[in-house]
Structure 1
Amino acid sequence: MTTALVATDLDRTMIYSRAALAEGGSSEVQCVEMYEGAPLSFMTVRAADLLDKLAAATTVVPTTTRTVEQFRRITLPGAPWRYAITTNGATILVDGEPDRRWRAAVDQAVADTAAPLDEVTAEMHRRGDDSWVLKQRTADDLFCYLVVDVTAMPATFVETFGRWCAGRGWGVSQQGRKIYAMPDVVCKSRAIAEVRRRLIDDGTLDPATPVLAAGDGALDAEMLRSADAAIRPRHGELELLQWQAPGLVVTEHSGGPASEEILDWFHANLNRTLRHVR
Structure 2
Amino acid sequence: MTAGATTDGRPVVCLDLDRTTIYSAAALDLRVPDQHAPRLLCVEVLAGVPQSFMTEEAVHAFRSLQGAAVVVPTTTRTPEQLARVHLPGPAARFAIASNGGHLLVDGEIDPGWSAGVRARLAGCAPPAEVEAHMQARGGPFMLRLRTASELFCYAVVDRAALPAGWVEALAGWCAPRGWTVSLQGRKVYAVPAGLTKSAAAAEVLARSGGTHLLAAGDSLLDADLLDAADLAIRPAHGELATTGFTRPHLAVTTATGAAAGAELLAWLSERAGAFVLTGSGKP
TM-score tier by shorter-chain length is over 0.9
Secondary structure of the equivalent of 1:19? helix
Could you tell me how far 1:159 is from its partner in structure 2? 2.2
Which residue, out of 121, 128, 146, partners 2:155? 146
- When normalised by structure 1's length, the TM-score is 0.92
What's the % identity of the aligned pairs? 48
Say which is worse superposed, 215-224 or 158-167, in terms of deviation.
Answer: 158-167
Which position in structure 1 is the counterpart of 2:22?
A: 15
Say which is worse superposed, 16-25 or 264-273, in terms of deviation.
Answer: 16-25
Q: 2:68–2:273: 8 Å Cα contact kept in structure 1? A: no
Could you tell me how far 1:244 is from its partner in structure 2? 1.5
Q: 1:24–1:253: 8 Å Cα contact kept in structure 2? A: no
Q: 1:170–1:182: 8 Å Cα contact kept in structure 2? A: yes
1:159 aligns with 2:168: yes
Which residue, out of 93, 112, 116, partners 1:82? 93
CA distance in 2, matches of 1:246, 1:126: 42
Which position in structure 1 is the counterpart of 2:135?
A: 125
CA distance in 1, matches of 2:262, 2:97: 23
Could you tell me how far 1:126 is from its partner in structure 2? 1.7
CA distance in 1, matches of 2:13, 2:31: 24
**Unmatched tracts of structure 1, length 5 or more:** none
CA distance in 1, matches of 2:208, 2:276: 18
Could you tell me how far 1:24 is from its partner in structure 2? 5.1
CA distance in 2, matches of 1:268, 1:13: 17
Residues paired across the two proteins, number? 269
Could you tell me how far 1:184 is from its partner in structure 2? 0.7
CA distance in 1, matches of 2:121, 2:30: 37
1:28 aligns with 2:39: yes
AA aligned opposite 1:122: A
User: In 2 relative to 1, CA 23–218 (structure 1 residues): closer, same or farther, beyond 3 Å?
Assistant: farther
Q: 2:65–2:266: 8 Å Cα contact kept in structure 1? A: no
Which position in structure 2 is the counterpart of 1:251?
A: 253
Which position in structure 2 is the counterpart of 1:236?
A: 238
Could you tell me how far 1:43 is from its partner in structure 2? 1.1
Deviations 1:41-86 (A, max 9, x none): 1111211221122113321111000000000001111331111000
AA aligned opposite 2:145: Q
Q: 1:56–1:78: 8 Å Cα contact kept in structure 2? A: no
Could you tell me how far 1:199 is from its partner in structure 2? 1.6
Q: 2:9–2:208: 8 Å Cα contact kept in structure 1? A: no
**Unmatched tracts of structure 2, length 5 or more:** 1-7
Name the Cα RMSD after superposition: 1.5
CA distance in 2, matches of 1:226, 1:24: 33
